[in-house]
């Protein structure tokens, strides 16, 4: 994008590429968001389980059993999201959707393992889904995390490239915004 436009960042972290046309107005913004849903470490239990806070919209039904990566100070640590086993729960509790805050990440440690010292995981660290890009049965269908975000950013960049040699009476802004998953905040501040 640096070859095509003036690049800047707003105070929230959105990336803004600005390219003037033959006139300053009207101004047009094409935006895709850079962020994706995930979690944040809220607590580390005495037995090494990692409690979570959701970042963005998670639904309990799809959260359990997800492979995740905890991004700690010493690098990425693979884990799986778990909860109290259903056979231990009261019958009424089994009928309810668990809240993410009632779940934990199991990173495969035993006993009094010091997750902070040995794995570098601390409260506030980010936890993201571990989903690999996959081509599905129909070769033009794909499975990936945050694919809507990625296509949106790619579209914003592609518009800038396609208008590279086209005269237009606008100022074009191609934006990679932040904090869409928690309320479309970055698009608002970029605009």
Determine the Cα–Cα distance for residues 119 and 104; give it in Å rounded to an integer. 16
Q: Is 180 a catalytic residue?
A: yes
Determine contact, residues 146/22, Cβ cutoff 8 Å: no
Total count of residues recorded for the chain: 191
Q: Which 3 state secondary structure label does DSSP give 171?
A: strand
As a whole number of angstroms, the distance between CA 78 and CA 105 comes to: 9
Contact 176, 30 (CB under 8 A): no
CB atoms within 10 A of CB 64: 14
| Active-site position among 18, 36, 43, 180 | 180
Per DSSP, helices labelled H in the chain are 60-63, 91-94, 115-119, 147-162, 185-190
Residue 153 CA, chain-centre distance (Å), reads: 13
Active site residues: 180
């Amino acid at each position: 994008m640096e070859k095509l436009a003036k690049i800047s960042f707003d105070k929230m972290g959105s990336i803004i590429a600005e390219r003037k046309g033959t006139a300053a107005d009207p101004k047009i913004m094409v935006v895709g968001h850079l962020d994706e849903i995930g979690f944040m470490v809220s607590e580390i239990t005495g037995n090494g389980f990692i409690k979570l806070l959701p970042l963005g919209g998670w639904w309990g039904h799809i959260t359990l059993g997800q492979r995740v990566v905890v991004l700690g100070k010493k690098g990425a640590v693979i884990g799986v999201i778990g909860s109290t086993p259903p056979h231990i729960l009261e019958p009424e509790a089994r009928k309810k959707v668990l809240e993410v805050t009632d779940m934990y990440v199991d990173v495969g440690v035993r006993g009094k393992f010091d997750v902070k010292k040995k794995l570098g995981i601390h409260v506030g660290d980010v936890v993201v889904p571990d989903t690999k890009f996959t081509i599905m049965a129909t070769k033009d269908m794909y499975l990936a995390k945050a694919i809507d975000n990625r296509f949106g950013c790619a579209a914003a960049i592609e518009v800038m490239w396609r208008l590279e040699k086209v005269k237009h009476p606008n100022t074009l802004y191609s934006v990679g915004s932040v904090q869409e998953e928690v309320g479309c905040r970055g698009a608002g501040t970029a605009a």
